[in-house]
Amino acid sequence: MSRKWTAALLAALLAALTALVYPQTDAVAADDTGSSEVTVSGTGEFANLKITVSQTTNLINQVVTVSWKGGKPTVDTSVFLNYLQIMQCWGDPVKGPDRTQCQYGALYTDNRGGAWTGSRQVTYGSAFGKDWVDPNESIKPAADGAPKYVPFSSVTGTTVDIGGLGQFFDATTTNEIPYGRTRADGSGEEFFEVQTGTEAPGLGCGQEQDDGTPRECYLVIVPRGETEINGTSGDDRPHKWLDSSPLEQTNWNNHITIPLKFQLIGKPCPIGTAERRTLGAEAMTEAILRWQPALCADGGTVYGYSQVTDDLGRLNLAGTEPNMVFVDSPAAPDPTRPQVYAPVAVSGLTIALNIEYQAGPKATDDDLVHEGERITDLKLTPRLVAKLLTQSYLAGADNSRESIRNNPPSLGNDHEFLDLNPGFDHQLALGIGDMLLPSGQTDLATRLWEWILSDPEAKAFLTGSPDPWGMKVNPVYAAQVWPKDNFPKSDLYCIPLRADDGLFHPFCTLDMHPYANNMHDAARYAARGDTLVHNATSRDTKGNVIGWKKGPPQAPGKRAVLAVTDVATAERYGLPMAKLRNHAKQFVAPTTTNLISGVAAMTTSKTVANVLDPNPTSSIAGAYPLTTVLYAATVPSAIQADAGKDYATLLRYAAGNGQVPGVEPGTLPFGYAPMPEALRVLTNSAADTIEESAGKPPPVIAPPATTPPMGGGTATGVPATAKPTRTVPAAGIAPSLAAQAPMPAGHGSPVPVAESNPTPGHPVGNLRFALLAALVIGVAAALAGPIFLLRARRGGR
């Protein structure tokens, strides 16, 4: 059975979508540059504390940076005294939130702090004596000594006690940060996932209110010092740390509130308006969702969008009624039905990381000040990536296989990795044996495998040769055919594991190393420190064990996750991205400049006009090796004239205002590089061709014309069906054309893994399904119409 159809079946219909019209109010004013960064100060004993939130308007489900200075250093490598507790709340638009309206208390098992600092509990019996009571607390101790809690009042009107929190949030969904550490210099930084009403239904942020505006929410910070609720210090109790909840009234009185303004979720364009259908590859999703509200504003065309695989997009293009399709690579040319391609976006595939410093036995005093901080500098070679993708570390494989018994347990034990990233030898061993991988077919997987195969060391490893330290590829991958258009997990093994019924049950590869649904989910879960590992049992109504279910995310400060995703989604969730070695032997991250250099490294397609082919062997300086140019395509002769006009409008927007970076509706999301002028010229020319040729019979094929070379390629023939293009700069696409986008929200200063005095920073491959079923689902996805909001409680865009 074709693996492309298998992948298509798994990944089709994964449309993601929040998008958005947001009327700005003046509660939080943006500065002249359009930034909505806000800085606020504490009060009382925390008056010197200044907290900055990187973005406070036009929010969707994303990550923002919360940084601060002027705090007292956190005591100990755990969090005993002097730290920040951060949460998201809803509340009255004038008065702000009260403590019952905050999403907090699901991580009470995090044992880095005191007994109740991670909980909603506000009475403590006789734990520290009868006088250990908050004099300002209105919730009084029970006569029988039973603990009492601050209830949660949801935006839905339902109020629940501690036992009912699960219907609104739990340890797997909450975004609370119970312990934000302050460094020795008084600064600190955390990466906070703001959630809409889709991810946090108890808060309802961004949902439409009666007046048609999106609901505003709040970021709340409760600073903690060295004094307890009754005025005593840590030394007055049996130990030297805080124990009380931030929701205790005395602690809550110090809270700092920052309004958060969200884009309206679920209604980017008027409901019931006829739409023009589009569909395409996931790497295009962030851009098209951002453009939708600008295109439909003031009565403009509503462009529906369905996210499908590249294969299904090309299948739709070959159908009798093609839409506009977004793909990473073109379909095979069909002389009887000429296709027109237009570049619309520049982005790429990336390996995103959420790794926090955890001091090991070799750590120095200078290392210890970084405890729990996010690491942003990571280098990977093609061979290291090949190891992670082939279950070759013992932590990701059936380690009973004789041929790999001497392989390193994980990435952090690999000499090749440690030689490139020397600071990691002062950490606890980085126990990463694989990465979060998207399921399904994608051309970007092919790009990744081609980059690996272009490197002689990595190719030799894939085909069975050991690395210089003796590590070998997992033998189930050694004889496979490369490249692939997915990420197979071919080592399907199980181990017997005792479940909570006391019996042994099979615990298998996809329990220990599950797929994410798509690249978006891989990034979001990585940002939450969630490896998706199944480590608890699920039971039927009779109590019988029927399988394993997902466990909680890794604790903040203890995270170590890698994920394969697209650059725009990694930016959305504030994830640093690995520096990959290109063919010029440089380690480069997917910055705007390096993505444009990656375009310059491409060669002109010999078969399809307006298309560039990847060139992983290019030695152009700074070129990011996994750059992709996304193309919009249709068949003018197979669509109606009005469709051609609408699609031309979309392309002209994509080549114009759609290339302006920003966070507002209609702008280009961070993670896309603004297209060089040479590509925009091709897009506008293609728009003219589509508008003028739509609904007309295809012209008689004439001898090919030529187009000037682009990037590192040479001039090649272009089908005469394409309208002659405007002048393209003969020198190709120079890196100097890159527009420098501002730093997006969710990214802080790099944290070297072993540097003192840092500068403060503002189941695919092995599953088989019937071809007919895949075809039916694929066609259904291709014709599904617009999907403006297809989101599960977790993982939706």
Contact 265, 16 (CB under 8 A): no
- Please compute Rg for the chain using Cα positions: 27
Alpha carbons 38 and 56: distance in angstroms, whole number: 7
* Average pLDDT for 361-383: 88
Residues 386-406 pLDDT 10s: 999 999 999 999 888 888 999
- Closest residue by Cα to residue 560 from 367, 424, 369, 389: 424
Q: Which tokens in the block code for residue 228?
A: 């307890």
Distance between alpha carbon 370 and the CA centroid of its chain, in Å? 24
Question: Is residue 169 scored above 80 in pLDDT?
Answer: yes
Question: Is residue 711 scored above 50 in pLDDT?
Answer: no
- Report the pLDDT value the prediction gives residue 430, as an integer from 0 to 100: 84
Q: Which tokens in the block code for residue 279?
A: 């569909």
**pLDDT band per the 50, 70, 90 thresholds, residue 253:** very high
- Closest residue by Cα to residue 531 from 558, 499, 506, 498: 558
How is the chain split into domains, by residue range?
Answer: 31-265, 379-575
Residues forming a β-bridge with 85: 222
At 655 the three-state DSSP class reads: helix
Residues forming a β-bridge with 629: 346
- Report the pLDDT value the prediction gives residue 34, as an integer from 0 to 100: 55
Alpha carbons 102 and 203: distance in angstroms, whole number: 8
- Report the pLDDT value the prediction gives residue 551, as an integer from 0 to 100: 83
**pLDDT band per the 50, 70, 90 thresholds, residue 236:** low
- Report the pLDDT value the prediction gives residue 761, as an integer from 0 to 100: 37
Around Cβ 537, how many Cβ atoms within 10 Å?
Answer: 18
CA angle 115/120/124 to nearest 5° reads: 50
Question: Is residue 110 scored above 50 in pLDDT?
Answer: yes
**pLDDT band per the 50, 70, 90 thresholds, residue 702:** low
Q: Which amino acid is at 638?
A: A
Residues 431-477 pLDDT 10s: 999 999 999 999 999 999 999 999 999 999 999 999 999 999 999 99
Alpha carbons 148 and 125: distance in angstroms, whole number: 10
Alpha carbons 20 and 667: distance in angstroms, whole number: 12
Alpha carbons 789 and 786: distance in angstroms, whole number: 9
Three state DSSP letters for 501-565: CCCEEEEEHHHHCCCECCHHHHHHHHHCCCCCCEEEEEECCCCCEEEEEECCCCCCCCCEEEEEE
Among the ranges given (9-23, 50-64, 728-742), the one the predictor scored with the smallest mean pLDDT: 9-23
- Report the pLDDT value the prediction gives residue 505, as an integer from 0 to 100: 85
Question: Is residue 481 scored above 90 in pLDDT?
Answer: yes
If you search the block for the tokens 């992948």, which residue do you land on?
7
Contact 409, 395 (CB under 8 A): yes
* Average pLDDT for 247-251: 97
Residues 650-674 pLDDT 10s: 999 999 999 999 999 999 999 999 9
Coarse DSSP helix, strand, coil percentages of the chain, rounded to the nearest 5 percent: 25, 20, 55
Q: Which amino acid is at 134?
A: D
Q: Which amino acid is at 216?
A: E
- Report the pLDDT value the prediction gives residue 365, as an integer from 0 to 100: 81
- Report the pLDDT value the prediction gives residue 127, as an integer from 0 to 100: 63
Rounded to 10 deg, the angle between the 382-389 and 443-453 helix axes is 130
- Closest residue by Cα to residue 670 from 8, 4, 34: 34
Count of positions (residues) in the chain? 797
Alpha carbons 141 and 486: distance in angstroms, whole number: 58
Mean pLDDT for all residues in the chain: 84
Contact 535, 333 (CB under 8 A): no
**pLDDT band per the 50, 70, 90 thresholds, residue 724:** very low
- Report the pLDDT value the prediction gives residue 476, as an integer from 0 to 100: 95
At 137 the three-state DSSP class reads: coil
**% of the chain at pLDDT higher than 70:** 81
Alpha carbons 253 and 235: distance in angstroms, whole number: 23
Report whether the peptide linkage leading into residue 483 is cis, meaning its omega lies within 30 degrees of zero: yes
Residues forming a β-bridge with 84: 180, 223
Contacts of 178 (CB under 8 A, 6+ apart): 85, 104, 107, 110, 113, 117, 118, 556
Alpha carbons 568 and 577: distance in angstroms, whole number: 11
Q: Considering the entire predicted model, what is its pTM?
A: 0.85
Q: Which tokens in the block code for residue 401?
A: 């296989």
**pLDDT band per the 50, 70, 90 thresholds, residue 91:** very high
- Closest residue by Cα to residue 444 from 488, 485, 383, 388: 485
At 67 the three-state DSSP class reads: strand
